Chains A and B, each alone.
Chain A
Amino acid sequence: MEGRGKLVAFTCIAIGTPAMLKLGYGRENPYCTGVVELEEKARVVARIQGVDTRNPGTISVGMPLQVDFLEEDSGSGSRTVLAFKPLVAG
């Protein structure tokens, strides 16, 4: 697994889960989650980082992504969250 893929579908969540609200996300700062298809064809659900969640029209199905693991602590200890960000060429 090379950790590269493309965005299959996504959402920008303004009314988040209690854990995400604790991390500072919300109406003014939505977060993006989506379905990513890896180059190896497997699909995963993941957080999508580095996109303009207040302007979802700028995020497009099919955009190339690369893996970007997050370490997050919403109050119950640090944990690793599967995330992707736009693929940087080269």
Chain B
Amino acid sequence: MRKKRKLSRGVALVGAGMSQFGMFRDRDSKDLFLEAFQAMTASVDKGLDPADIDAFYLGNYSNDFFVRQSHWGAILSDTLGLVPRPATRTEGACASSALAFREGVFAIASGFYDAVLVGGVEDMSKGATEVVAEGLGMAAIPYEREVGFTFPGVFGTIATAYFDKFGASREHLMNVTIKSHDNAARNPKAQLSATLEEVMVAKKKRAESKGRPVPDWPDPKAFLRDPRANPVVAWPIHLFDCCPISDGACCLLLVGEELARNFTDDPLYVAGIGQASGRGLHASEDLTTFEATRYAAREAFDMAGIAAEEVQFAEVHDCFSIAELLHIEDLGFFPAGQAYKAVEDGQTRLDGSKPINTSGGLKCKGHPVGATGAAQIFEVWTQLRGQAGERQVPGHPRLGAAQNLGGTGGTSTVTVLERR
């Protein structure tokens, strides 16, 4: 029934850049996007004349709600000096810029454009936490919102189903968190760029300087078990299971495959793309898997002509620690119910057999929701080009993937990039 898909013209990624991720009181979407655009421009080995950009696709979830301003495609087009080129905004909740990337790929594959700017941005930290949470909650489905579900609540529910079915526990989620912090500590663009050991030292110093009793945590798991250090958000999800609230932007440059060498001698190629829709908690027969991720993965891997095990590393949508476990099973990297053991064994660490979220993931790199899909692809770009520094995946990898989720599983995308 499902046919194998292909692009009628190959598409290459020849530039990528991201802004610093963080909470910025004094920087707006223009500032952040310009920083990402300049970083992208600097990454184009043989130089980029912005006049060569034919069109612009921007992922943005809800600056409308967060900063009461919409229509960022045209606004940023002006900021970058791209007017009158067409600008199109895509929205797919936290997968908004993965959708922009797909639209850019299609625009080039069709032959209509030769060079397309793809980006993502979100400016979401200016409001109070409950207001930000309300804005994000709008991407859940109405049934979930009506009974009071929050996003941490949705993933907490998924976690209890996973624990019950496979015998995992909170201790296993902690392994995901510890790994995320270890990776982000090696990523200068990350929002939470400290290991948990460093977080513990900072908290002890703070307690000491304020004359409060200094906590005595023997190791990171003891820290994570301490309800004062790591309070419950939506049981069994605790604070350190959650990604932070973030501002940030990311830019990517796509061109027709036959033009790639005009821009760099080290291009990457779009080997596979997949996207699927899902329905929500009530319609899921098995809460321990995302139907949309499994479908998108099959599409992307079939198109690339590869098996899941051939993907050497991946960025996946770890908005909450439990989500990372589900996605790496749904991508086919580990059998159902085995991911928590694989993480415990260190297989997903930088030096493991399948490094996952080398950037620190959403959990620690940060999750400016409209920028996240593009930023995952930025990390795959950085790794495949051997430019990841202290967090470089060893062995000069050739195939990497990014998986981006929107809402409570309503949208999922998978992208496979290849170095030939």
Q: Are A31 and B148 touching (Cβ within 8 A)? A: yes
Known: A45-B143, A81-B146. A35 touches B157 (CB 8 A): yes
Chain B residues near A19: list those with CB within 8 A. 148
Cα A56 to Cα B237 with chains together (Å): 12
Q: Are A61 and B160 touching (Cβ within 8 A)? A: yes
Q: Are B150 and A15 touching (Cβ within 8 A)? A: yes
Q: Is B287 among interface residues, defined by CB-CB distance under 8 A?
A: yes
Known: A11-B234, A30-B235, A33-B148. A17 touches B133 (CB 8 A): yes
Chain B residues near A44: list those with CB within 8 A. 143, 282
Q: Which of A17, A33, A45 has the most CB of B within 10 A?
A: A45
Name which residue of chain B comes closest to A34, CB basis: B157
In chain B between 148 and 184, which residues have their CB closer than 8 angstroms to a CB of chain A? 148-150, 152-154, 156-161, 164
In chain A between 2 and 49, which residues have their CB closer than 8 angstroms to a CB of chain B? 8-21, 25, 27, 30-31, 33-35, 43-47
Q: Are B147 and A10 touching (Cβ within 8 A)? A: no
Q: Are B148 and A11 touching (Cβ within 8 A)? A: no
Chain B residues near A43: list those with CB within 8 A. 281-284
Chain A residues near B161: list those with CB within 8 A. 8-9, 35, 61
Cα A49 to Cα B380 with chains together (Å): 45
Q: Are B234 and A15 touching (Cβ within 8 A)? A: yes
Name which residue of chain B comes closest to A72, CB basis: B148
Q: Is B231 among interface residues, defined by CB-CB distance under 8 A?
A: yes
A4 to chain B minimum Cβ distance, whole angstroms, is 17
Cα A47 to Cα B148 with chains together (Å): 8
Q: Is A82 among interface residues, defined by CB-CB distance under 8 A?
A: yes
Interface residues on B, range: 35 or more
Name which residue of chain A comes closest to B155, CB basis: A11
B261 to chain A minimum Cβ distance, whole angstroms, is 51
What mask results when residues 220 to 241 of chain B are scored 1 for a CB within 8 Å of chain A, else 0?
A: 0000000000011111110000
Number of residues in A with C-beta < 8 Å to the partner? 32
Chain B residues near A33: list those with CB within 8 A. 147-149, 153, 157
Chain A residues near B232: list those with CB within 8 A. 12, 14, 30
Known: A9-B157, A17-B134. A35 touches B234 (CB 8 A): no
User: Which of these, A14, A45, A61, A82, contacts B235 with CB under 8 Å?
Assistant: A14
Name which residue of chain B comes closest to A62, CB basis: B164
Q: Is B144 among interface residues, defined by CB-CB distance under 8 A?
A: yes
Name which residue of chain B comes closest to A20, CB basis: B148
Known: A9-B160, A9-B164, A35-B287. A16 touches B233 (CB 8 A): no
Cα A83 to Cα B148 with chains together (Å): 11
Q: Are B287 and A8 touching (Cβ within 8 A)? A: yes
In chain B between 113 and 136, which residues have their CB closer than 8 angstroms to a CB of chain A? 129-131, 133-134
Q: Are B164 and A45 touching (Cβ within 8 A)? A: no
Give chain A's interface residues, CB within 8 Å of chain B.
8-21, 25, 27, 30-31, 33-35, 43-47, 56, 61-62, 81-83
7 new A-B contacts at CB < 8 Å, known A14-B234, A18-B130: A8-B287, A13-B153, A15-B133, A17-B150, A19-B148, A43-B281, A45-B282
A-B contact pairs, 6 of them (CB 8 A): A11-B154, A11-B234, A12-B234, A14-B231, A35-B281, A43-B284
